[in-house]
């Protein structure tokens, strides 16, 4: 075949190359859209050395997390709140009292504790967090989330984040780190992992590096919760 004959095939070759490149772009986009995500979340801080140790590990691993804070514990630990914020972590609301009887007496009392905590955080770092987590979860032994509560919180620009994977360190803080590691492993596409950085959460700190390693090894992207993160809660079937 001479050169002149070959030239007539050039447009077809170019079309084929263009189609292949377009298909590759689509494949890459699909893979990007299917990126697995983990939200590491820590309840019940700030709590002195335990919270500090958690922050040290997160800094060493260069990953963000989300801290749901108890307002009554913040006084005297403002530097920890500033550090969380400065190091790119999300700050969330976890009530003032963490007391079942106070919180779940009425929707209005629950809301007020969240707003009071929001105001304290705002006075320290100049932002009003609008993400919250129900103490003991939004469906617990003494309370089940209602539509009226959801409506009230949404009317006040607050968003709800439970979890879909539980390390177990809240109910059994003195269990072995290996137990928390085992409980924390998930293969969900979107993991919202419940952990704690309370004063009693020393074994959680010991488990954290292995938990982070598991998710890194399995290709997860670490993200902090923000107001654009899809909410995580459900209503109990009656």
HEC sequence for 7-37: HCCHHHHHHHHHHHHHHHHHHHHHHHHCCCE
The answer to whether residue 158 is domain-embedded is: yes
Distance between CA 36 and CA 222 in Å, rounded? 9
Is 179:210 a contact under the CB 8 Å cutoff?
A: no
Our answer to whether residue 98 is catalytic in this structure is: no
pLDDT tens, residue by residue, 97-129: 999 999 999 999 999 999 999 999 999 999 999
Domain presence at residue 210: yes
Tell me the C-alpha distance between 81 and 35, whole Å. 30
Q: What is the mean pLDDT of residues 132-160?
A: 97
> Is 124 domain-assigned?
yes
Domain residue limits at 59: 36-222
pLDDT of residue 24: 58
Residue 184 burial (10 A CB sphere; 0-12, 13-18, 19+): buried
Kind of pairing between the strands at 66-69 and 90-93: parallel
44 assigned to active site? no
Active-site residue, from 43, 44, 166, 169: 43
Counted domains in the chain: 1
Q: Is residue 228 part of a domain?
A: no
Q: Is residue 167 part of a domain?
A: yes
User: What integer pLDDT is reported at residue 92 of this predicted model?
Assistant: 98
Residue 5 CB partners (closer than 8 Å, separation 6+): none
Residue with tokens 């009292």: 97
Residue 20 lies in a domain: no
Contact 134, 140 (CB under 8 A): yes
Is residue 16 situated within a structural domain? no
Residue 109, domain CATH: 3.20.20.370
Query: What would the mean pLDDT of 78-96 be, rounded to a whole number?
Result: 98
DSSP 105-152: T-HHHHHHHHHHHHHHHHHHHS----EE--TT-SEETTEE--HHHHHH
Pick the catalytic residue from 44, 162, 196, 226: 196
Q: Which two tokens stand for residue 12?
A: 């077809």
Burial 62-89 (b: 16+ CB within 10 A, else e): ebbbbbbbbbebbeebeebbebbbeeeb
This prediction has a pTM of 0.86
Q: Are the beta carbons of 55 and 206 closer than 8 angstroms?
A: no
Residue 186 CA to residue 164 CA, distance in Å, equals 9
Q: What is the mean pLDDT of the chain?
A: 91
Q: According to the model, what pLDDT value does residue 101 have?
A: 93
Are 169 and 203 contacting, i.e. CB atoms less than 8 angstroms apart?
yes
On the question of pLDDT at 21 being above 50, the answer is yes
In a domain, 1, yes or no: no
């Amino acid at each position: 075949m001479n050169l002149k004959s070959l030239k007539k095939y050039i447009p077809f070759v170019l079309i084929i190359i263009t189609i292949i490149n377009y298909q590759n772009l689509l494949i890459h986009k699909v893979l990007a859209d299917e990126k697995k995500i983990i939200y590491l979340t820590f309840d019940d801080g700030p709590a002195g050395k335990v919270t500090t140790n958690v922050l040290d590990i997160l800094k060493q691993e260069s990953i963000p997390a989300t801290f749901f804070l108890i307002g009554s514990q913040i006084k005297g630990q403002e530097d920890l709140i500033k550090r969380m914020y400065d190091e790119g972590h999300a700050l969330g609301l976890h009530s003032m009292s963490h007391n079942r009887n106070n919180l779940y007496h009425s929707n209005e009392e629950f809301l007020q504790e969240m707003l009071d905590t929001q105001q304290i955080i705002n006075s320290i770092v100049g932002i009003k967090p609008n993400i919250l987590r129900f103490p003991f979860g939004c469906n617990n032994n003494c309370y089940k989330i209602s539509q009226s509560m959801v409506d009230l919180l949404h009317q006040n620009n607050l968003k709800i984040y439970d979890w879909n994977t539980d390390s177990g360190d809240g109910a059994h803080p003195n269990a072995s780190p290996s137990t928390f590691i085992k409980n924390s492993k998930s293969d969900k596409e979107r993991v919202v992992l419940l952990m704690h950085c309370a004063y009693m959460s020393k074994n959680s700190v010991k488990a954290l590096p292995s938990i982070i390693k598991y998710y890194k090894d399995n290709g997860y992207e670490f993200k902090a919760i923000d107001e654009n993160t899809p909410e995580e809660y459900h209503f109990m079937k009656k």
